[in-house]
Amino acid sequence: MNAALTKNRAAILMNYARLQWMRVNAVIGVSCAGCAAGRVLLHFLCACGDRQFKWHLHGIVRELASAAGGAGQLGHGRG
């Protein structure tokens, strides 16, 4: 019974830690999304997490082009 209780407590702590990490990620995401450099950083971090490198690379290129003033060339400018 003691081992089951310990396992249950560990699961509760893991869920709490996961929720806190999600909250921190949401705050960082909102903070970074306000500028092109922040969006590039978010694309890079997300690519490391979800392994969708091609999709995030396109997003990085779009943000860099937008920051350089050439968004019209790619047809993906932020309105």
For the stretch 22-62, pLDDT in tens is 887 788 778 888 888 889 988 988 888 888 999 999 999 99
Q: What are phi and psi of 35, to 5 degrees?
A: -140, 160
End-to-end CA distance of the chain: 60
Cα-only R_g, the chain: 19
Task: Give the global pTM.
Answer: 0.53
The confidence score (pLDDT) of residue 79 equals 46
Domain ranges, ordered by start, for the chain: 1-32, 35-79
In the predicted structure, residue 67 carries a pLDDT above the cut 60: yes
Average pLDDT of span 8-28: 84
In the predicted structure, residue 1 carries a pLDDT above the cut 80: no
